[in-house]
Amino acid sequence: MSARGHKWLIVRAATAAWQRFWHEAKAIPAEAWRRWASTLAVGLGLCALIMFVTTRWAMTSESLQVWDERTLIVVTQRFPMSFDKGVTWQSPGNLLGMMPVVVAFAALTSWFARPLIAATTVATYVLQFAIVWVGWGLWNRDRPDLIADGLAAPGLHSFPSGHAFVITTVYGLLFYLWFRASRSWLERLLVVLFALVWIGLISASRLVLGAHWPSDVIAGLAIAPLWLVVVIVAITRAEAYIQQKR
C-alpha cells in the first residue's frame, strides 16, 4: 500500500474513533461530566499550588545545590546503568514521544465505547503540563553539567523533571486501569511491581545521563502521584453517578 493509502486509512480510523467517542460521550449524563470536570479543575489548582510552594522552597534552600551535586555523582557511580542504557531507558518517558501512547490509548478506548477513560487519558497528559510549567516558570534552574559535560542535558528549565512527572501520571493511570480490571491478586501484584520498576528505571535514567538534578526527579515523583489521585477520583466520581442512574 502506498504512503497516501496509509495516510487515508489513519485519517479514516481517527475519524471513526472520534465519531464513536462523541456518540458515546453524549450518552453519559451531563452531571457525570460536570463532576468529572470539576474534580479535575479543583485538583489541578491544588497540585499547581503545591508545585508553587515546593519550587519556592527549593529556590531558597541554601543546602539543596550542594546535596544535589554530591548525590548526582554518587548515583552515576553506583547505579547499575550505563550512559548508553540511560539513553534507551529515557525514551519511553519523553514528553513528545508519549503522545503516540496517549493518542493510541484514547483512540482504542473511544472505539470500545469508553469515552470517560479516553477523555481522562488525554486530560491527564495535557493538564499535567500546567503543573510542571508552574515550576519551570518560577525557577529557571540550570541543568547539570557534571556528567559528560552536560551532553544529555537539554537547554530547558530543570525543576521539576518533566519525565518523572509525566511517566508517573500517564503510565500510572494505565497501570491503575489494568490493576482494577484484573481479578487475580497475582496479576495485580505483578502490575504494581512492573509499574514501580518501569517508572523507577525511566526516572533513574535521567540522573545517569546527567539531565536532571536528583531533587528535580524527586519533586516530579513526589507531586505527580497527587495529580494521578485527582484523575482517578474524577473517573470514580463520574462512574459512581452513572451507576446511580442505571
Pick 101 or 26 by higher pLDDT: 101
Dihedral, CA atoms, 155, 151, 195, 98, nearest 10 degrees? 50
Q: What is the mean pLDDT of residues 133-150?
A: 84
Find cell 482517578 and name the residue. Answer: 232
Answer yes or no: are the C-beta atoms of 225 and 51 closer than 8 Å: no
Position 66 scores a pLDDT of 92
Reported as a single tens digit per residue, the pLDDT across 85-135 is 888 888 888 877 788 889 889 888 888 888 999 999 999 999 999 999 999
Query: Burial code of 110-124, b = ≥16 C-beta within 10 A, e = fewer?
Result: bbeebbbbbbbbbbb
* CA atoms of 202 and 171, how far apart (whole Å): 11
Position 132 scores a pLDDT of 95
Average pLDDT value over all residues in the chain: 87
Sorting pLDDT into bands at 50, 70 and 90, what band is 246? low
How is residue 191 written as a grid cell?
A: 502490575
* CA atoms of 97 and 190, how far apart (whole Å): 25
* CA atoms of 135 and 154, how far apart (whole Å): 16
How is residue 171 written as a grid cell?
A: 503510565
Query: Residue 217 is which amino acid?
Result: V
* CA atoms of 88 and 65, how far apart (whole Å): 28
Sorting pLDDT into bands at 50, 70 and 90, what band is 10? low
pTM over 0.85: yes
CA distances (Å), 182 to each of 52, 188, 189, 191, in order? 37, 7, 10, 9
Q: Minimal CA–CA distance to 169: which of 206, 203, 214, 215?
A: 203
CA distances (Å), 88 to each of 81, 91, 142, 205, in order? 10, 6, 23, 8
Structurally, the chain folds into a number of domains equal to: 1
Q: Can you tell me whether residue 42 is helix, strand or coil? A: helix
Cβ neighbours around 85 below 10 Å, total: 15
Reported as a single tens digit per residue, the pLDDT across 196-209 is 999 999 999 999 88
Pick 36 or 245 by higher pLDDT: 36
Q: Can you tell me whether residue 61 is helix, strand or coil? A: coil
CA distances (Å), 125 to each of 47, 65, 163, 224, in order? 14, 30, 12, 11
Percentage of the chain modeled with pLDDT above 70 = 89
Q: What is the DSSP letter of 80?
A: S
Residues in the chain: 246
Percentage of the chain modeled with pLDDT above 90 = 55
Which range of residues forms the domain containing residue 64? Answer: 3-244
Task: Please state the φ and ψ torsions of residue 187, each to the nearest 5 degrees.
Answer: -65, -40
